[in-house]
Amino acid sequence: MPDSSAIGAFPVRPANLAPPAPVFPWPAPFTAAMFLSFDVDAESAWTGKDPAHAARLVTMSYGGFEARVGTPMLLELLRRLDLRATFFITGWTVEAHPAMAESILRAGHEIGHHGYHHLLPDPGAPHIAEELDRGFAVLKRRLGVVPQGYRAPSGEVCEELRAALVRRGIVYTSSFRDDVRPYRHVLADGTPGTVELPVTASYDDWLLGLTNRFSPRPIFPREHVLSIWKDELDETRDWGAMVTTVLHPQCSGRPMRLRLLREFLTYARSCRDLWIATGTEIAAHFLRHEAGAA
Ligand SMILES: [Zn+2]
């Protein structure tokens, strides 16, 4: 049973105070957008859930697949399709797999912040600031990168985190599920937050294509996933809005998933109205229009 005193204490207003997303035109000749992004967690996807996984070597091997196979195959796919993407990568992954991290950067992709140990930034968690600061330090020291974008590990955000991201200069975030266009966060004190590039579960490959002994579930075949991805994309194009992918090399770098992703991205590339872009490019476009509208 929920604690009735706690339920009575939270305010009766929308949890997100941001006004509706402004409807800006996309850069000509495009009329819709795709934020092509990957989350590179490697083994930290598992230890972030339970540090005891570090000694479970088969569980860890799901993450290890990223450096050994998944990420190189994805980079080759993107090279062949001439696409640039954003890779949100944990600090631990950069330190444990420096060659993989460097190969992403060298291929011309954007690097975003994804925490250090992939710890859930739950309200009141003691590690929120440290996860941010260690992540920034590693990206700078190992890759020379000052990230503009941040995606929350395990896709959760609290007010303390939103404010901390603004203080540290993060331009855009990409975790919320409440829109189909970029918008500007409003913090609890009324000051501006980051630009949000919202996501949807439809494009989270973890939910559609990964199974393990801690959360066993069916994985979906190509026809099933292509149907979801194309329907979501085509309707979004009709709306003149934006989709965001949340793809993981430990899932989409697997052979059947890569074949499926190749088919989907080839289709997306054939849509002449669709701007496929990095987070920084889309956020910069938003900022230009926001400045013009002010
Ligand atoms: Zn992640």
Q: What is the pLDDT of residues 158-190, one digit of tens each?
A: 999 999 999 999 999 999 999 999 999 999 999
How far is ligand 1, taken at its centre, from the CA of residue 215, in Å? 16
What would the pLDDT profile of 208-267 be if each residue is shown by its tens digit? 999 998 989 999 999 999 999 999 999 999 999 999 999 999 999 999 999 999 999 999
pLDDT over 80 at 276, yes or no: yes
What would the pLDDT profile of 33-85 be if each residue is shown by its tens digit? 999 999 999 999 999 999 999 999 999 999 999 999 999 999 999 999 999 99
How far is ligand 1, taken at its centre, from the CA of residue 266, in Å? 25
How far is ligand 1, taken at its centre, from the CA of residue 279, in Å? 16
How far is ligand 1, taken at its centre, from the CA of residue 176, in Å? 14
**pLDDT for 5:** 74
How far is ligand 1, taken at its centre, from the CA of residue 157, in Å? 13
Residue 90 lies in a domain: yes
Question: Rounded to a whole number, what is the distance in angstroms from the first to the last CA of the chain?
Answer: 47
Helices (H), 220-278: 222-239, 249-252, 255-270
Q: Give the residue among 12, 19, 50, 3 at the shortest CA–CA distance from 182.
A: 19
How far is ligand 1, taken at its centre, from the CA of residue 192, in Å? 26
How far is ligand 1, taken at its centre, from the CA of residue 69, in Å? 18
Q: How far apart are CA 112 and CA 90, in angstroms?
A: 9
What's the CATH code of the domain at 47? 3.20.20.370
Residue 18 lies in a domain: no
Residue 16 lies in a domain: no
User: Could you tell me the residue range of the domain that residue 145 belongs to?
Assistant: 28-293
How far is ligand 1, taken at its centre, from the CA of residue 12, in Å? 32
What does DSSP assign to residue 246?
A: B
How far is ligand 1, taken at its centre, from the CA of residue 45, in Å? 6
Residue 66 lies in a domain: yes
Residue 11 lies in a domain: no
How far is ligand 1, taken at its centre, from the CA of residue 167, in Å? 22
**pTM score, whole prediction:** 0.96
How far is ligand 1, taken at its centre, from the CA of residue 28, in Å? 33
pLDDT interval class at 294 (50, 70, 90): low
Residue 1 lies in a domain: no
How far is ligand 1, taken at its centre, from the CA of residue 206, in Å? 10
Domain count, the chain: 1
| Phi and psi based region of residue 158 (left: phi greater than 0; alpha: psi -120 to 50; beta: remaining) | beta
Q: How far apart are CA 76 and CA 81, in angstroms?
A: 9
**pLDDT for 293:** 76
How far is ligand 1, taken at its centre, from the CA of residue 259, in Å? 22
Residue 6 lies in a domain: no
How far is ligand 1, taken at its centre, from the CA of residue 99, in Å? 19
Mean of the per-residue pLDDT values of the chain:
96
Residue 10 lies in a domain: no
Q: Are 251 and 69 in contact (CB under 8 A)?
A: no
**pLDDT for 2:** 61
| Mean pLDDT for the stretch of residues 269-288 | 98
How far is ligand 1, taken at its centre, from the CA of residue 204, in Å? 11
How far is ligand 1, taken at its centre, from the CA of residue 120, in Å? 10
Q: How many CA atoms lie within 13 A of 252 on its CB side?
A: 30
Measured between alpha carbons, how far is residue 228 from residues 105, 133, 181, 234 in Å? Answer: 30, 37, 19, 10
How far is ligand 1, taken at its centre, from the CA of residue 89, in Å? 8
